[in-house]
Amino acid sequence: MKLRHLLLLLPLCWASCEVINPPETIPSYIQIDEVNLVTNYNLQGSAMHKITDIQVSAENELLGIFPLPASIPVLRTGTNNIKIDAFVIENGISATRELYPFYERYAETGELVAGEILDIQPTMTYTSDALFAFREDFNGSNLFVDDIDGDTGTRLEVSFDDPFEGTGSALIRLEDAGSRAQVGTGTFYTLPLNSSPIFLEMHYKCNSVFTVGVRGINPVGDPIDLDKLNFNVQETWNKVYVSFDEEVNALNAAQYQIYFKVNKSSNVQFTEVYIDNLKLVHR
């Protein structure tokens, strides 16, 4: 009798064990190593970017945000519409990664197979509504001709010695102790006041701290400066995306000017700030 009861229990145990330990689903994978940017150079400038992370979805199912390069497991198979959005480091703060509003979403239809890798190489463009208030690559030209500090001995000049790309870059060089420079665009620009995104894209390297800011003209014609961001020493070229929408709305001016400020550092013989590939983008 006891043996009979044991035999009856064995099928129940087998069934319950299968429920507790169901077979594992084998994922497929999406592999994205890097993102390329394509630009109309005459209108949009350099195609060099600093996309650090991507947001990926498959058939409108959000898979998450991933640092590049990314190997993404997906519990889906078959034909899927893959969508990819670009994230950048905002204001040079590594903990602040934001969806960049001026890069178009990339979409591709691909076949996902369990246990296999779908390799995707996204190519992005600027969005069709991206407006460029100005762009300056310093290949012989220079928009930053307003000598705000009034010292003609300290200014921003075009240098052909060490550009990031192209033939030239901007250089602010200070040699005398106590010297300083503040230079701005020779033109004031109209920018949106509805909290619409406004970004200054730029490459830079420097051996001393320098500042970027925005100047607005108040109703009686007086300039008001708002410093935005201080850049620490950076020995190699780096790209940054600087958000200006809060400062522009705070100034509430009719027109705006972008400026750079730097003081002679006592830590180096010559203070040098190099800048390249500037773009002021908004909607």
pLDDT tens by residue, 48-98: 999 999 999 999 999 999 999 999 999 999 999 999 999 999 999 988 999
Fold of 131-282: Jelly Rolls (2.60.120)
pLDDT value for 6: 38
Q: H-type helices in the chain, by residue range?
A: 2-20, 41-44, 245-251
Contacts of 234 (CB under 8 A, 6+ apart): 204, 205, 206
Structure tokens at 56: 């990926």
pLDDT in tens, 106-152: 999 999 999 999 999 999 999 999 999 999 999 989 999 999 999 98
CA gap 104, 124 in Å, rounded? 6
- pTM equals 0.89
CA distance 21 to 18: 5
- Superfamily in which the 25-124 domain is placed by CATH: Immunoglobulins (2.60.40.10)
Can you give the residue ranges of every domain in the chain? 25-124, 131-282
